[in-house]
Amino acid sequence: NAGVTQTPKFQVLKTGQSMTLQCAQDMNHNSMYWYRQDPGMGLRLIYYSASEGTTDKGEVPNGYNVSRLNKREFSLRLESAAPSQTSVYFCASSGRSSATNEKLFFGSGTQLSVL
């Protein structure tokens, strides 16, 4: 019963490098999310996907792109990493709609450092 799986767990990049954070869920959830967590800032939504084939910007989308590859997978790409993107990144998923007020399930996070 894996839930939400994120890879990698840790990553160090140099400024300007690119990378993709992978996320997969096995709960047949429609909605998936990418958050970043910074000290004193709480969780901030980067992008979300309400269903397969759709993605939308959240609060802090600049510098990121996403792909909802299929219902299971939602990846986050940093095309040209900057030190301001040093953070802990969480992927999450939830059930079908706001009608059911489903809780979010979170992955264990990716700690990213950009030097």
Partner 1 sequence: GDSVTQMEGPVTLSEEAFLTINCTYTATGYPSLFWYVQYPGEGLQLLLKATKADDKGSNKGFEATYRKETTSFHLEKGSVQVSDSAVYFCALSPPLGGSYIPTFGRGTSLIVHP
Q: Which residues bind partner 1 (CB under 8 A)?
A: 4, 31, 33, 40-43, 45, 48, 50, 56, 58, 90, 92, 94, 97-99, 101-109
Pairing of strands 110-114, 10-13: parallel
Q: How far is the CB of 11 from partner 1 (least distance, A)?
A: 15
For partner 1, which is the closer residue by CB, 17 or 58?
58
From the CB of residue 18, how many other CB atoms can be counted at a distance below 10 Å?
10
Instruction: Report the residue number, 17 or 37, with the smaller CB distance to partner 1.
Output: 37
Which two structure tokens, joined as six digits, stand for 40?
Answer: 């004193």
CB of 14 to partner 1, least distance (A): 25
DSSP 97-109: -TTTTPPEEE---
In the bound state with partner 1, the residue whose beta carbon lies nearer, of 17 and 27, is 27
Say if CB 11 and CB 110 are below 8 A apart: yes
Please, what is the minimum distance in Å from the beta carbon of residue 83 to partner 1?
Answer: 22
* Residue closer to partner 1 (CB basis): 17 or 55: 55
**Helix (H) / strand (E) containing 87:** strand 87-94
What's the closest the beta carbon of residue 97 comes to partner 1, in angstroms? 6
Q: What CA–CA distance (Å, rounded) separates 52 from 37? A: 25
